Structure 1
Amino acid sequence: MRETYTHQNVSERGAATVTTQIVLPGVVGPEGLEVRHVGAATPGPGEVLLVMEATGVSFAEQQMRRGKYYDQPAFPFVPGYDLVGRVTETGPGVDPALRGRRYAALTKTGGWASHVVVSAADLVEVPESVASADAETLVVNGITAWQMLHRTAKVEAGDTIVVLGANGGVGSTLVQLARIAGVRVIGTASRRHHDQLRDLGATPVDYRDPDLHGRLRGLAPGGVCAVFDHVGGEGVVDSFQLLAPGGTLVSYGTASTRDATGSAKAPVLKLFARLMLWNALPNSRHAHFYNIWAGLRNADAFRAQLRTDLGQVFALLAAGSIQPQVAARIPLSRAADALRLAESGTVAGKVVLVPDEEAPSTDR
């Protein structure tokens, strides 16, 4: 990783507010990420400055470095879909009482930095009883899992569901939330993660099994109430066929096309078309693509729902009902190592970036 310094836009607050940022300069491998040190921005009206305590590596950043995330900004930019941090400054119109308090924020980009300016309206308070890295594993993953389960699929106690990639950040959260709701879970993962899935309460199936569809069907001969599929591609057909009458497929990614060449939008558009076709056919099964930003057209309602849903997830975390799945804690300046690890397919849970002065990545 290349490290650079700039003194542009350094405010009168001095060197103590210099920000460390991880920058994606273009389509690069993990080693192509850049570490930049710039002056921390001053929060404007309605904004706050968060000092990052934890941020994460999700599938979105893996796609962004390939230039394949559906609506990513132009290069160069700072990635980072979410973060947990403490408010140190408030802009005009923001209650100064927020200073010193810890919040989570969904950012889509910008989270991989030591200081991040966000809208105060986007803050969700984090219980002081939980560690920042633990809370970070449940920001975008927790919102995604909660809303897919309870708002899209509307699962009920006694239902049976299939979770593909049940060892991942979203997948492991889905498993736990479903079990709390009294739902039986069948989860796919590599064999190395099967014991972990059993501990979380799921029935594991090897995703490399050449008869994966048959194995899943054998565990639920009458079909399942919902399938949560982050893989996309042609395999989504098998996912839809696992549904019982009235069941729901919730698609939320196209991981199978991560390394494919060509248009970044084509796999997603093809998936959309397929889901729309299934919904138009005369059958009782349903197919949805989950997009966390879908409700943003009404910003106030979107933020209120986000606070409600993430607040419930944090409450479960604080109560010990959810076990945070931290795959590794890696210092921010070693983001290349973190991205490489997250892409390796060898970890369970979420790789978390922490401030450079915190624990090394051997805490796994």
Structure 2
Amino acid sequence: MENEGLVEVVLPGIVAPEGLRLRRGAVPAAGRGQVVVAMEATGVSFAEQQMRRGRYYDQPPFPFVPGYDLVGTVVTAGEGVGQGLLGQRVAALVKVGGWASHVVVDAEDVVPVPDGLTAAEAETVVVNGITAWQMLHRSARVRAGQTVLVHGASGGVGSVLAQLARAAGATVIGTASARHHKALRELGVLPVDYRAGNVAERVRELAPGGLDAVFDHLGGRSVTDSWKLLARGGALVAYGSASTRDDNGSKQLPVLKILARTLLWNALPNGRRASFYNIWAGRALDRTAFRARLRADLTEVFAAVGRGEVVARIAARIPLARAAEALRLAESGTVAGKIVLTP
């Protein structure tokens, strides 16, 4: 693969999925402290759906190569990098740049993928798994015997979060469309049809004493409804604004509104707490601690997959050259699990 040249997908501006461009070039070189990873699997996440609309709150200027994470094999190590990494399968969180056949990554940012996991299986739980693990265990600190609500429980993050919560001993209520309810029940999740209306009323029927944690990626009015469902001592973790994906105007405003609400709620003497989760929080202040935390948490998620506590749900495998098709499929909302792009 290394000798075949670079192939990457470029997002040129605010375009339909079919507006993505394929670009070829020379395989990049690894600088000091860096490695070149030959991509074996990368994914389509909600971030790319927002980015193509210009709606991701800190995306780079157009044009750029999207791709939030990847799994692949280290083919080149730069100066100052131990040669032991060569030939290793690793995972990396990059935010942008993953939709390419070869990606340059700082060596300290790669996490080894354990034997027994395929590249596609590992890819399903990189950004999704880190997000789910950190929200569950670092933000909400969910314990056995508690009851939690996961919005979008059939989605990429939601499905991993629901499974990790079940593995932690929690009762899980999950919102999803009716066609996903059978699969959720098989995971031990109590499904609620978000399209049927009165979601809050149905959740209260299932958890009359209130919830110990709610995980909300919807934003907007849903955040307020989620807050009201908490029991005393409960935690709301907001981590997106999916409900405003197709809105016009400022891309920062929906997030700022959520942040303002969490600050207000936390100032109230009501025994509940709220936070907005950002996977990159703390990176600028202490990169060493950030890397250590990410490595530890992703390693825990990989171990959970290895134990069968989390099933790697692959919705589709699509070649990188057909990224437009993959993005269109992801945006259709008709699939469960992760859409994986392959070289």
After TM superposition, the score normalised by the length of structure 1 is: 0.93
- 8 Å CA contact 2:2–2:27 kept in 1: the answer is no
| Alignment partner of 2:319 out of 305, 315, 331 | 331
Question: 2:58 is aligned with what amino acid?
Answer: D
Q: CA deviation at 1:282?
A: 2.0
1:310 paired with 2:321, answer: no
| Alignment partner of 1:133 out of 120, 133, 136 | 120
Aligned to 1:257: 244
- 8 Å CA contact 2:172–2:190 kept in 1: the answer is yes
Q: CA deviation at 1:38?
A: 1.2
Question: 2:216 is aligned with what amino acid?
Answer: D
Q: CA deviation at 1:321?
A: 2.4
How many residues align? The count is 342
Give runs of aligned pairs for residues 165-314 of structure 1, distance below 5 A: 165-296=152-283, 297-314=285-302
Aligned to 1:360: none
| Alignment partner of 2:150 out of 163, 183, 193 | 163
- 8 Å CA contact 2:216–2:222 kept in 1: the answer is no
1:23 paired with 2:10, answer: yes
- 8 Å CA contact 2:8–2:23 kept in 1: the answer is yes
| Alignment partner of 1:118 out of 76, 90, 105 | 105
Aligned to 1:142: 129
Question: 2:230 is aligned with what amino acid?
Answer: L
How far apart in 1 are the matches of 2:40 and 2:306?
18
Task: Report the 3-state secondary structure (helix = DSSP H, G, I; strand = E; otherwise coil) of the residue aligned with 2:135.
Answer: helix
Question: 1:333 is aligned with what amino acid?
Answer: A
How far apart in 2 are the matches of 1:235 and 1:317?
30
Which piece of structure 1 moves more, 64-73 or 321-330?
321-330
Describe the superposition over 1:227-265 as per-residue Cα deviations: whole angstroms up to 9, x where unpaired: 000000012111000000010000000000000011111
1:51 paired with 2:38, answer: yes
1:352 paired with 2:325, answer: no
Question: 2:318 is aligned with what amino acid?
Answer: I
Q: CA deviation at 1:15?
A: 8.6
| Alignment partner of 1:83 out of 49, 56, 70 | 70
1:98 paired with 2:107, answer: no
Task: Report the 3-state secondary structure (helix = DSSP H, G, I; strand = E; otherwise coil) of the residue aligned with 1:295.
Answer: coil
Kindly, what percent of the aligned residue pairs are identical? Answer: 63
How far apart in 2 are the matches of 1:177 and 1:210?
27
> What RMSD in Å do the two structures reach over aligned CA positions?
1.1
1:319 paired with 2:307, answer: yes
Task: Report the 3-state secondary structure (helix = DSSP H, G, I; strand = E; otherwise coil) of the residue aligned with 2:179.
Answer: helix
Q: CA deviation at 1:128?
A: 2.1
| Alignment partner of 1:154 out of 134, 141, 145 | 141
How far apart in 2 are the matches of 1:256 and 1:193?
20
How far apart in 1 are the matches of 2:257 and 2:309?
38
Task: Report the 3-state secondary structure (helix = DSSP H, G, I; strand = E; otherwise coil) of the residue aligned with 1:330.
Answer: strand
- Going from structure 1 to structure 2, the CA distance change for 1:15 and 1:350 (only over 3 Å counts) comes to closer
- Going from structure 1 to structure 2, the CA distance change for 1:44 and 1:244 (only over 3 Å counts) comes to same
List alignment gaps of at least 5 residues for structure 2: none
How far apart in 2 are the matches of 1:76 and 1:128?
36
